[in-house]
Amino acid sequence: MRFQTLQEMLSDLRAEAGISQNVAHGVTAVEPHKALLRRVQEELYLAYDWPHLQTSTIVSVSAGTRFKAYPDTFTFDGIERAYTKDASDKWRPLGYGITTEDFNVYDSDADERTFPIRSWQNYMQDTGDTSNNMFEVWPIPDTNTSIKFEGKRSIFPLDADDKTSTLDGPVIVLFAAAELLARQKGDDAGLKLQKGQDRLRLLKIRQRGKNARPANLAGGGARRVLRPGLDYMPRRS
């Protein structure tokens, strides 16, 4: 996988789409082309479970905390699993969802506190600003603790020319070029799309390969297949 800056992808996009690299040419198209690259990356990000983006992060939750901002590593959509520390300082799975019945046990509105945290859920603020969502924990902890999130890390924003892509730059460029050429009814739009699909398929195969469990030649785990003539001599009839 080859990561590229926004400026590098913009230059490659112009080359793939047959657009002049002269800065004076197509100045008005620069920002639309950057927007296209951003959108294509986001669409590819959402479409697949990229193994290289799987990560985890630990969030400290202070005693008395009910609402907490998400770490920069994750948005709500990317979180797949959550854990919290129990009384023996061991990680245990944290359930999702807080109900009215839960408040009958420990009422967060009345600031009732205990330990450990048992569940969490997304919290959208009443201001209507969805860009700063938080998460809520229940019950409110009466001691400092931690939550561990695991899942798909957030996409890196391409909001400056020197910012680097989250995904493979050439794939983003090829899909973007195919779209540009299709708008212009270019003859090679299909070729660029096919090249993008081929590269994407290879990337997915390679990433799946990294998740494959290797054979354990010392025994245990994956079973070793013995090879005649190498690992043993076959008996003659």
Residue 109 lies in a domain: yes
Are both 141 and 171 inside the same structural domain? no
Averaged pLDDT, 59-84: 95
**Structural domain that includes position 23:** 6-50+167-211
C-alpha angle with apex 208: 204 to 212, nearest 5 degrees?
165
Residue 68 lies in a domain: yes
Dihedral angle sign, alpha carbons of residues 99, 100, 106, 107: positive
Residue 184 lies in a domain: yes
Residue 177 lies in a domain: yes
CA–CA distance, 52 with 154 (Å, rounded to integer):
12
pLDDT in tens, 178-224: 999 999 998 999 999 999 999 999 999 988 766 544 434 344 444 44
Q: Has this prediction a pTM greater than 0.85?
A: no
Q: Could you give phi then psi for residue 120, rounded to 5 degrees? A: -145, 165
* 13, 37 Cβ separation under 8 angstroms: yes
Are both 131 and 61 inside the same structural domain? yes
Residue 237 lies in a domain: no
Q: Which of 194, 199, 175 has the alpha carbon at shortest distance from 12?
A: 175
* 181, 19 Cβ separation under 8 angstroms: no
